[in-house]
Structure 1
Amino acid sequence: MQCLTVKIRFFPEDPKILRQLGKEYVRVVNQLTEQADRLGAFPKMTTKHVESLLPSAVCNQAIRDAKSVFRKSKKLGSRPVLKKPVYFINNQNYSISENTIAFPIVVNGYTRKTTFRAMTTNRDWEWLKVAKMGLMRIVEKAGKWYAQIALEIPTNVSNGETIMGIDLGLKVPAVAVTSTGKTRFFGKGRQNKYIRRKYEHRRRNLGKLKKLSAICKLGNKEQRWMKDQNHKISRQIVNMAIQEGIATIRLERLENIRKTARTSRKNKRNLHRWTFYQLQQFISYKANLVGICVEEVNPAYTSQTCPACGEKNKAIDRRYECLCGFNTHRDRVGAINIMHQPVTDGHSLSA
């Protein structure tokens, strides 16, 4: 099973009602956790014990959330206080069609399951038709309303034997090599470095002017840009895997990558800021959705070992050459070795 969240935009006629219910939901959760904190334990209760303006099904969910928050607070040693309005509905109390979404709200003191006009993408609708739906979260962002729905999607892993190895890096964000001999380079390392330098220069200038809020917004913009790049690269990789009939994708295990990865002094800062793990996660969940298995392997010496004879050599710039005559792009060498690399016990690690 693959877990993911879809986001569906919908259009309430009276947003004030949803805002009030969101505030009421948060108030109930905070009140119950505060009460449990005073008692030292979360008491047994039902909706009869809670005074709220929420529908009974939603109030039940608020009680469950409060219990979960209290358990976490016991581990953390401090009680968190929720501030952002939110509204949760369990999967038994909402319904979705291609153009509508319906869930219970309170209007003039009465609970009504209300239908809202919604926009569902073709991809999301295909997932909704086969998925097991979980909790739905109603949120407002920049004046727009969204229903965020947790899904469990069944995956059918192929029984084929075609494998793809992927090497991640800075100058070339990703290189993929298949066991059938196909190679493809993904992303533009120079563009990524340019964008990083541009944002760093802007932050430095804003820092001199002490515009802290502007620096924060700039950082968020840079993160969104990087996330978008990782989404595009991962989608291109998975599309190639589908076209080539790949059964298994192998990625390098990313533990201590910032300590072990090869890089120059000028690239060291970029190495620490590049979101390798995020890209790997995007590849994993998109591959799993289409039934492709993803494994992690030990990356030791994958960039130095000759795929032809097994001797270890250091690449000169971007070119790898071995005394046996084998030569190619050094990142391609890493992808080939990752494709064939086992871990110490002889079994690949499931991602």
Structure 2
Amino acid sequence: MGEVTKTLELKLVDPNVHKRQKLRETQKAYQQALQAAFAAGCDTQSAANDVVVEYDLSGYAKNALKQYVPQLCGNSYDADELHDDHPVRFTNDGLQLDHQPQNAIEWYVKVPHHEDYHLWIPARANPEQREWLEAVYADDAEMGESRLFERDGTWYLHITVTRDVEDKSEASADERTPPDESGEPCLAGLDRTPIGVDIGEASLVTVCHRDGSGSPVRPELWADDGKAVRRLRKTYFTAKQRLQQRGSERIAESYGDSLWDQIDDVFHRVTREVVEYAESVENPVLVLEDLTYIRENMDYGEYMNRRLHGWGFAKLHAQIRYKAAEVGIPVETVNPRNTSKACHACGEHGSRPRQATFRCSNDGCWLGEYQADVNGAINIADHYRSGESHRRSDRTSRQKAGDDDSATDGASLTGPQDSHTDADTQQETCGTYAS
């Protein structure tokens, strides 16, 4: 186990006119504060604070300046040597990420503008750094200083990230299997054992696979964890509404952060156990439902849709993916069509008289009733076994024109004046990533 630091790059996707203006205002205010503090020879954080406190910047940018300017002055730079294109720096807690893998543009980033005002903007990530970005989103990597800059009319973010990496993580699935023409590991010719991973509300996660004779074996359900997360989420929404009614927004936010931290702890433990389950299976491949289809297929009424949209599908997916990559286990996705409706034994559609029970409608089927989440997990694995799988790089080309691209999960991250739900995500961008 060793600590590794890497700079991740995100390209902001065509911010609208309003957001471009706000980004340039932040850039201009930062440059003015930097020049003023440097010209004043601020060689301590206290001295730099006295200067930058007057500028219309977020506390994250001001704190970064208080650390940066004394370093410059301590090295005896001449003020005339400062360029006008210094990137805007933010301290490690300045940015926030949201992940919506069901959308053509999966990542959203919260960029601080000034106190109590921030901008949610969709962003494209360097595909080679996806595993690291998912680790950041899942809170398993520590975000350091970030830098915002504009190049040839395009805005970029560089984020310093540190994480613990096992020595064998470098020898991932890409090295264990030869790549195909797309650069992805080629699974052809390998006798993979697909493990279906069903993420739901009753059982937080359910996994199951078939043995050599085709019989489902070793189903495992994290039902108690599903109950724990439902209880925490209900507590959060109830308390948030009451506190907001009393005008206690900051208390509601602080209380919500505490509860979401508890939920994250559950997510991390469960996804780690899912990967450990996969490690115990010979030549495994973890099979998830492609979230591209999840949201458009959800229509259980306003109350249930809110609960399910915020259930944490994206975060659980991200954690499973990067934790599996660390131990060299491939992850594939399949269309979730009928995985919860079809009988894994005969293929006929059935019903769910209770949340955890699947009842086959075929009188001639031996199955009768079965655990619903296990039935779903087996169907997910069978979709992969039948030859259906989607690589992550295919999502954009499969996204239907006109789909709503706005982020829907992470309401707790949304700021008071600007949200990521109004991001301009329908436009495609061309060009290379920042170097």
Band of TM-score, shorter chain: 0.5 to 0.7
Residues 166 and 338 in structure 1, CA contact (< 8 A), matched pair in contact too: yes
Counterpart residue number, 1:305: 342
Task: Say whether residues 1:53 and 2:74 are aligned partners.
Answer: yes
**Distance in 2 (alpha carbons) for counterparts of 1:229 and 1:55:** 50
Q: 1:183 to 1:83 in 2, by over 3 A?
A: closer
- The alpha-carbon deviation at position 51 of structure 1 amounts to 5.9
Counterpart residue number, 1:149: 162
Task: Say whether residues 1:166 and 2:173 are aligned partners.
Answer: no
Q: 1:218 to 1:23 in 2, by over 3 A?
A: closer
Task: Say whether residues 1:207 and 2:244 are aligned partners.
Answer: yes
- Secondary structure at the aligned position of 2:378 is classed as helix
Counterpart residue number, 1:349: 390
**Distance in 1 (alpha carbons) for counterparts of 2:311 and 2:303:** 14
**Distance in 2 (alpha carbons) for counterparts of 1:195 and 1:212:** 19
**Distance in 2 (alpha carbons) for counterparts of 1:259 and 1:273:** 14
- Secondary structure at the aligned position of 1:306 is classed as coil
- The alpha-carbon deviation at position 24 of structure 1 amounts to 10
Task: Say whether residues 1:329 and 2:371 are aligned partners.
Answer: yes
**Distance in 2 (alpha carbons) for counterparts of 1:85 and 1:268:** 34
- The alpha-carbon deviation at position 195 of structure 1 amounts to 1.4
> Equivalent of 1:338, from 373, 376, 380?
380
Q: 1:85 to 1:348 in 2, by over 3 A?
A: closer
Q: 1:137 to 1:270 in 2, by over 3 A?
A: closer
Counterpart residue number, 2:219: 183
Q: 1:203 to 1:292 in 2, by over 3 A?
A: same
| Superposition pairs of residues 77-96 of structure 1, within 5 angstroms | 81-84=88-91
Q: TM-score, normalised by structure 1?
A: 0.58
Task: Say whether residues 1:319 and 2:319 are aligned partners.
Answer: no
| Superposition pairs of residues 1-351 of structure 1, within 5 angstroms | 26-27=64-65, 52-53=73-74, 69=87, 81-84=88-91, 137=144, 149=162, 153-157=169-173, 161-180=192-211, 181-187=217-223, 188-261=225-298, 263=300, 267-317=304-354, 318-322=356-360, 323=362, 324-326=365-367, 327-342=369-384, 346-351=387-392
**Distance in 1 (alpha carbons) for counterparts of 2:382 and 2:64:** 51
**Distance in 2 (alpha carbons) for counterparts of 1:55 and 1:292:** 51
Residues 45 and 67 in structure 2, CA contact (< 8 A), matched pair in contact too: no
- The alpha-carbon deviation at position 241 of structure 1 amounts to 1.1
Residues 297 and 343 in structure 1, CA contact (< 8 A), matched pair in contact too: no
**Distance in 2 (alpha carbons) for counterparts of 1:312 and 1:277:** 27
Q: RMSD in angstroms over aligned alpha carbons?
A: 4.2
Q: TM-score, normalised by structure 2?
A: 0.48
Which amino acid is the alignment partner of residue 321 of structure 1?
Answer: R
Q: Deviations over 1:265-303 (max 9, x none)?
A: 653332122111100110111111111100011111111
Which amino acid is the alignment partner of residue 155 of structure 1?
Answer: A
Q: 1:218 to 1:237 in 2, by over 3 A?
A: same
**Distance in 1 (alpha carbons) for counterparts of 2:254 and 2:383:** 42
Residues 258 and 271 in structure 1, CA contact (< 8 A), matched pair in contact too: no
Q: Deviations over 1:41-73 (max 9, x none)?
A: xxxxxxxxx9643599xxxxx99xx67x4xxxx
Residues 272 and 320 in structure 2, CA contact (< 8 A), matched pair in contact too: yes
**Distance in 1 (alpha carbons) for counterparts of 2:5 and 2:385:** 32
Q: Percent identity?
A: 23
**Distance in 2 (alpha carbons) for counterparts of 1:84 and 1:156:** 32
Q: Deviations over 1:282-328 (max 9, x none)?
A: 01111111111000111111111222222222222222222212231
- The alpha-carbon deviation at position 28 of structure 1 amounts to 10
- The alpha-carbon deviation at position 347 of structure 1 amounts to 4.5
Q: Deviations over 1:10-64 (max 9, x none)?
A: xxxxxx9899999999449999xxxxxxxxxxxxxxxxxx9643599xxxxx99x
- Secondary structure at the aligned position of 1:349 is classed as coil
Q: Deviations over 1:138-166 (max 9, x none)?
A: 79xxxxxxx95267841343655222110
Q: 1:178 to 1:217 in 2, by over 3 A?
A: same
Instruction: Name the larger-Rg structure.
Output: 1
**Distance in 2 (alpha carbons) for counterparts of 1:228 and 1:339:** 27
**Distance in 1 (alpha carbons) for counterparts of 2:349 and 2:232:** 35
- Secondary structure at the aligned position of 1:314 is classed as strand
- Secondary structure at the aligned position of 2:351 is classed as coil
Counterpart residue number, 1:43: none
How many residue pairs were aligned? 247
- The alpha-carbon deviation at position 194 of structure 1 amounts to 1.6
Which amino acid is the alignment partner of residue 219 of structure 2?
Answer: T
